[in-house]
Structure formats: structure tokens, C-alpha cells
Amino acid sequence: MNKQVILCSLGTCLTLASTQANELKQQEEKPNVLFIIMDDMCDWLGYLGGNNQIISPNLDTLAQRAINFSNAYTAVPLSNPSRSAFLTGIQPFVTGVYTNNHALEHHPVANNCIFMPQHFKNNGYTTLAAGKIFHTKPSATVMSNMWDDMTFIDGGYGPWIDNNVLPDNLKHQWRNFEAKTGPETDFADVRNSQKIIDFLQLQHSKPFFAAMGFYRPHNPYTAPKKYFDMYNLEEIQRPNFPVDDLDDIPAYALNNFLNLRDYTKLLSESGNYYEQMLRAYMACVTFADDRIGMILNALDNSAYANNTWIVLIGDNGFHHGEKEHWTKTTLWREANHVPFLIVPPKGNTTYTAGECKAPVSLIDIYPTLIDICGLTSIENQLQGNNLKPLMENKTAEWNKPSISTFLPGNFTVHYNNWNLLRYANGDYELYNINEDEGEHTNLALLPEYRYMVDSLAQYLPTDWVTGPPEVSVTSISEDFSSEAWAAELKRIDPNYVEPAIGKAYTNINNTIRYFDKYLMNGGIVARAGTPNCAIPEITHGNETRAIAFRFANTGNKSYFELPTMENGVGNITLHVRNGNATLASSLTLQRYDLEDWTTISTIPIQPADNFSAVSIDEVITCPVNINETVKLRIHGGERFVQLYRIDAEAFGASGIKNNNASVLQINNRKLIVPEPMYVSIYNTLGMMAFSRFIEKDTEIPASIEDGIYVIKFPGGTKKILVN
């Protein structure tokens, strides 16, 4: 007998036995979790059938191994509140987190709960975050306690658009696209997914919870060019929907949820830009799918393949022209239907792959993982359902609704094959998605379906958090040296004391609206008050001191948010001073569109020495010219900037008006006066450029160059644009 052969055979047997033992031990231990989140990923995936043009081979293959919850819905069709809901297990109408503007750290019910990653860490897991997990975050303390490794958290939506091809009437910072030819590492999704791949190749002594948040396919639709090239533009098909799709929609929905109808109509009528936007979204899906495939390959080739659960979701759905809408933020299925896969570890025989058509919610993830991972229970927090019974029997009877919410009092009940929409004013829509998946026929209008409306309405929430009402205004005029501001600062913080000259008060409460209007993040400073304002008859403070709101030199961490301007905005005038004497600075003006803040203009700030001998402030008028309801904020930059006064007028008005200044008008370079009067014109440094008694309409002298000026006359003082 060949002893060498016997030894080799014995060695092989020992190796196999050792491997089997390790695999058995691994299966008996607490399992790992790989949690993958895709941003704005609707049901446009091959395995979900939302759009058969999509190329998503890795996700389609993964679905074949998964429990595929094909009728899954987000709790909120918007990133921040959706992620808040599934990471806390708490409904948005309980936390009050409804929009992207609702920071988690400012909502105690959310901030003070046990977040899903924290619970895994409390149960002995190593926790890793890469990419976009949260949209807004809980407090820094909560975050640091939650994660063992968040060195690759976030990363940003870029790279942004360098070469815009959209016409000016469609051009937008977010709703835009570009096929990129630079290195793929320019994309955060590449860097962050590589972090996960590297993590899976390491040896870990504890079970892990690893979360990977992809920014794609969220806009701007930038991806490496090779993914654009996979789609033939001439073959791209638009979604199919009837032209009268909105005819049976309540007026409340039309007026409050479809704020992009004009944009969508313009896009659809502008050459093939509609198809180009669709192709760009698809390219971003395929780009993300490719990176997900690399992560799955790394897991399959790692020591953790047989002991790792995979959860893959989209945070919300998306309209691509359906209902004349191009974003999410509605109660319809397009905005709320999302991919949701739970993939058992390889070799697991308890759970079999297959489709489950029961309506479920993303807030069901948290209680389900607690059960299948053997974690300790959480009392009095989780509001989702444990999906383990459906994982074991995908056709089990499931008499539990899934609820989607957008803004207080608006809900969709998803129950079996029915979707019931109820708006805050009491209007209903009802759809049978088995027969009408696109939700084109509102059955709530038909008497024979009243019984179904009443039956499903029992599942609607009966109360919800609304938060303090936000004030809408037509104009604002605020001077921080006023007694009213001193009183308001004292009301919010009884310990407030007006700072000494050159000092700052930094305890601004950025969770409360001052005067129920203004959210602020910055400080309050005092400065010697003379010389004072560049505009005659406006004085900041008194002869010794002036008070200003101070933007910190920390970028987007410092801002002054205005209330909603219900009649739009014509001009905004700022009285500012650069904190640096010799270097220029800037602020940015941003607009909120329920998705995020978008920069609409940059406001250059001169070095303080340029005007300090003339006045305490530089007066800047920014033409905004938005003729619709809008929310704006002034956003800090890289240097300290002091804001002494801010004025914003409705669209059609301009500048500062003390008293009735509308009796004098300007048309290009002509002063139009209703009667003889004395008129003086000053530049924004307070220097007189023109002074004359005018008996009739008069041309402004050529010596006055085009620009912004202050005009003083018997009726008052106001800003004018000379051009």
C-alpha cells in the first residue's frame, strides 16, 4: 500500500472535515448582515418588470436567490424621512420627520431611539457604514456610538455636470445628465463599494453589520460613459400612460403634489431630451448594478458567504413622467413602490427563494432582522412587522397593511391588491393594482366601490405629528439691531446677553424658528456702529454699536433660512460685511424643492477694507425673479460674514421701500415722476452720484454706469437697477 497516498487521502479528509466544521460553526453563530441601499431606485429593474429596457444582470441574479418582496413600499417617498423610518422602525407621522429638511438630530423621537446599526452593535456586532446611509443624521454622539467604522460614510452625489447639453429652460443642477470619461474613482459609489469589498476580504472576530449606501441612480445622472453606451438612444421608450390620466385626480393632489408639471411637459416637448434623461437614469442603474455585482462576488468568494444575510432595497420610488411628474414626493405607486430583497446565506436550507406578493413596508426590515439574527428584542419602539412568517411561507395569509406617508395627514394604505390614498383635506383615490398597476382609474369616485374605501379607511392613522406650523409671508424686512430681535433672542434663550463689541453669541437654537419664520445656524455679533449704513435713513443699531447675524466659515453648516414666500421673490437685499479686511468672500442663495437645497446664485462679498471708511455694511441686491411660491435660504461660505439686515420683496416689487416709494418708477435709464420732486441717487457705498430737482421724466446721466443704486426722494428710499 502506498503510504503517501494514504496520508494525502487522510489529509484531504481532515481538510474537508475541518472545512465542514468551520462552516457548521459559522452557521451556528450569529449571522452577518450586508445591507445595501440604492437611492431613488424605483421598480425599474428586470426582475420587477417596471421597465424591460433596464440592464441589471446582477440584481436580477440576486433576486433568484432571494425572498423577493415584489409588492414592497417605502414609508415615505423621499430619502431623508424614508431612511429615518427604516433605520428607526418608527413611522414618520410619529417622529415628525417628513421632508429632507427635517434633520434627525432636531427630532427627539428619532434622535433618541435605538437605531438599527446601534442595536446590532449592542448585540456584539462590528458596524461599518460606507456611502449614503442617512440623508440627515442624528447627533454626532449618536453617530459615533452607532458605528465602529464610518471613515467612508457619505461621499456626495458628484461628479457634477461639467458639460451641460440641456437648453437653458431645462438646465438644472440636479435634473441633468452627463456621460463621464474621467476615472471611475471620481464617483463616491466606486470608492465606497471598494471599502465594502476590502472589508469582506478581512478576517473578523465578531459578526458584522455592514451598510453600503449607493448614491446612484439618484440625479444628477452622471455615470461612466460605458454605461450610457449600453443603451441605444433611438430605442429608448417613454413610459406609457393615458393623456387624461389626471382627469379623475382630486384638485388637492394636483395643487399640492405635482409641482413639476410644467417642467415635465416642457421636457416631453423638447426634442429627445426626455429620452436622454431616461437613458441617463438607466445608465446610473446599470452602473450601480455593476458595483453591486462586484460586492456580491467579493462576498461569495469570502469566508462569510455561508453566514451572511443580504438585504437590498431602494429608499423610494420615482416618477419619470407618469402623472406628469418628474421626481418622487407623491402618494402614487410610482413614488412608493421599491425593490426589497432578503437573501439567505448560501447553503441555508430553512428559507427558499421566491416571490412574495404581500404588501410590506421598509420599516419591517428592523424587526425582521432582529428575529432572523437572534438579537435581543426592543420594547415600545418598532412599528413594523416581522416578515419571518412570509419568508417561511410566501403565500401565507397577510392581513396587515403597509402605510406610506407624505407630509402630515396624507397617506396611502397598501392592502392586498388595493391602494387607498387619503389626502389631508379628506379626498380619496382608490386603485386595484392587479387590474390597474399604473393607477389610471380612480375607483373612489364610483359609488359601487364606496364599501372598499370604507373598509380600507379603518387602517388609516387617526393622529399624527404635524410640528409647528410654518408661516408663509409675502415679504420680509429684518434688522438684527432692532429691539424685536433682541427680545426674540431672549425669548428663545433666557440666558441671551447682547455680546460686547467684537464678541459673539453662538448659542443659536437651530431647531426653533425665530418669530416662527427663520431657521438659523450661526452666531450673533456686535460691532462698533459708526460709520453706519450705506443707505441714507437706514441705521443699524445706534451711534456706538450694531448687531449682526454671523455666518460661520463652515460652509453648509451656517445658514439663514427664510419662511415660504407665497408670492414669489423679486429681489433680496442684504446688508453685509466681510469678516476679512483684505480677502473677498461669498454667500450662496439656495432654493428648496422638497428634494434638497439647490444653489441658484453666488453672492460675492467685497473685502471689508473696500468700504469700511464709508459705512459699516456693503449693500447687495440680488435679483431672484421667481414668480411662484418658494423657500430660500442664505448659505455661508469659507469666511465669516456679518448680516445686518435682510429685505425680500414679492415678485414684481424691488429692493427696500421705506414708506410708499412706488410713486417713483424707473424704466431702463429713465426716471418717471408723477410730479416735480427733488431726487438723489447714491451708489451702494453711500456716495452721492446724482442730485437734482426734477420737474418731468428725466434720463439718468451717462456718468452713472449700469448697476444697483439707492434713490432718495420725498416718498421714501428704495433700491433701483439702472441698465
Q: What is the pLDDT of residue 695?
A: 75
Q: What is the three-state SS of 200-255?
A: HCCCCCCCEEEEEEECCCCCCEEEEHHHHCCCCHHHCCCCCCCCCCCCCCCHHHHH
297: Cβ–Cβ under 8 A, 6 or more apart, which residues?
Answer: none
| β partners of residue 418 | 415, 432
Mean pLDDT in runs of 10 for the chain (723 residues)?
Answer: 43 47 54 98 96 97 98 98 98 95 89 97 98 95 96 93 91 91 97 98 97 97 98 96 95 90 92 97 98 98 97 98 96 98 93 97 98 96 98 96 96 98 97 97 97 98 82 91 93 91 88 87 90 85 91 80 91 92 92 80 89 84 86 91 94 47 68 77 67 79 78 67 77
Peptide bond into 531 cis (omega under 30): yes
Rounded to whole angstroms, how far apart are CA atoms 587 and 714?
34
Using a 10 angstrom Cβ sphere, with 0-12 exposed, 13-18 middle and 19 or more buried, the burial of residue 24 is exposed
| String of DSSP letters for 120-148 | HHHTT-EEEEEE-S-SS---HHHHHHH-S
What are the E-state strand segments in 279-415? 308-314, 337-338, 340-343, 354-356, 360-361, 402-405, 411-415
Q: Which residues of 455-494 are buried (b: 16+ CB within 10 A; e: fewer)?
A: ebeeeeeeebeeeeeeeeeeebebbbbeeebeebbeeeee
Q: Does domain 661-722 have CATH number 2.60.40.3080?
A: yes
- Model's pTM, two decimal places? 0.78
Would you call 626 helix, strand, or coil by DSSP? Answer: strand
Rounded to whole angstroms, how far apart are CA atoms 484 and 338?
49
Q: Are strands 308-314 and 32-38 parallel, antiparallel or unpaired?
A: parallel
Q: Are strands 428-432 and 688-694 parallel, antiparallel or unpaired?
A: unpaired
Would you call 13 helix, strand, or coil by DSSP? Answer: helix
At 231, list the grid cell: 443603451
Q: Longest Cα pair distance anywhere in the chain, in angstroms? A: 126
| Spatial contact of 230 and 428, defined as CB atoms under 8 Å apart | no
Q: What is the pLDDT of residue 27?
A: 41
700: Cβ–Cβ under 8 A, 6 or more apart, which residues?
Answer: 666, 669, 670, 671, 681, 690, 722
Q: Are strands 585-592 and 631-635 parallel, antiparallel or unpaired?
A: antiparallel
Please tell me what DSSP assigns to residue 17.
Answer: H
The Cα angle at residue 340 between residues 95 and 360, in degrees rounded to 5: 60
At 713, list the grid cell: 426722494
Write the CATH number of the domain with boundaries 472-648.
Answer: 2.60.120.260
Q: What is the pLDDT of residue 24?
A: 41
| Spatial contact of 489 and 506, defined as CB atoms under 8 Å apart | no
- Distance of alpha carbon 28 from its chain centroid, rounded? 41
| Spatial contact of 207 and 30, defined as CB atoms under 8 Å apart | yes
28: Cβ–Cβ under 8 A, 6 or more apart, which residues?
Answer: none
| String of DSSP letters for 634-693 | EE--SS-EEEEEEEE--BTB-S--BS-GGGSEEETTEEE-SS-EEEEEE-TTS-EEEEEE
Rounded to whole angstroms, how far apart are CA atoms 213 and 311?
12
Tell me how crowded residue 76 is: count the other CB atoms within 10 A of its CB: 32
Domain at 31-408, CATH homologous superfamily: Alkaline Phosphatase, subunit A (3.40.720.10)
Q: Where are the domains of the chain?
A: 31-408, 472-648, 661-722
Q: What is the pLDDT of residue 646?
A: 96
615: Cβ–Cβ under 8 A, 6 or more apart, which residues?
Answer: 531, 532, 533, 534, 685, 686
At 689, list the grid cell: 452720484
| String of DSSP letters for 405-438 | E-STT-EEEEETTEEEEE-TTS-EEEEETTT-TT
